[in-house]
Amino acid sequence: MRSAQNVITHVRCFFRRNIFEPADAYHTFTCKGIKIGMSICEDIWDDAYTSKPTQMIRKKGAQLLVNISASPYYQQAPHRREQVIRNQAKKNELWIVYVNQVGGQDDLVFDGRSLVADPKGRLVACGKPFCEELLSIDIPTYHASLPPVTQSIDPIRDTYDALLMGIRITFKKNRFQRVVIGLSGGSIRL
C-alpha cells in the first residue's frame, strides 16, 4: 500500500507532466482595484523549487494570490496546507485564497477545506471539510484587517468522512446497487 505522501507525489508528477506546461512568465490582472495573481496546486508548495512562483507573482505587484488546488486528503494534510498557506502569505505579504477540490477520483479523496490568509499570515476564513460550499469574504483594499479564525480539525471524524465520501463516490460512479462486506470469519450481504 502506498503512503499518503507517495500518492501525493505520484499525483503531482502525473498532473505536472501530462496536463500542465511550465510557465515561462507570470502575469497579474486587476479586479475591483486589487491586483491578482493565479497559481496552480503545487506552485504554492515551492520550498523545494529553484524558482518561487508565489514570490514571482508578488514581484509582479500582486496583492492577492488565488491558488486552485487538488490536494488529496490524508490525516496531516489540513495542518500542512494551513501552515504552507499562512507562511507564504506572511513571507510574500499578500492575501492568499487557496481553493481546494472536494470529491473523489479513483483512489483519491479531496477534502476541500479552502482557506484565506491575510498578508500577516493569519487565517481569516476556512471552508468546511468534505462538502462543497461557497465562501464569501470581502478582501480589504487597504491595510485593514479581518479577525483571525481557526480551522476545526478532528482527525477521527475526518477519516470517517474521507472513507464515507470515497465509498459514496465509488458507488455512484460505478452504479453499484449492492455490496458484499468481507469480515474476518465470514461475510455479510447487504
Kindly list the structural domains of the chain, giving each domain's residue range(s) and its CATH number in brackets, ordered by start.
Answer: 4-189 (3.60.110.10)
C-alpha–C-alpha distance, residues 17 and 164, integer Å: 31
pLDDT at 80 over 50: yes
The C-alpha atoms of residue 94 and residue 63 are separated, in whole angstroms, by: 5
Tens digits of residue pLDDT in 9-60: 444 555 555 666 666 778 899 988 889 999 988 889 888 778 889 999 999 9
Which pLDDT value is given to residue 152? 81
pTM: 0.78
The C-alpha atoms of residue 4 and residue 7 are separated, in whole angstroms, by 5
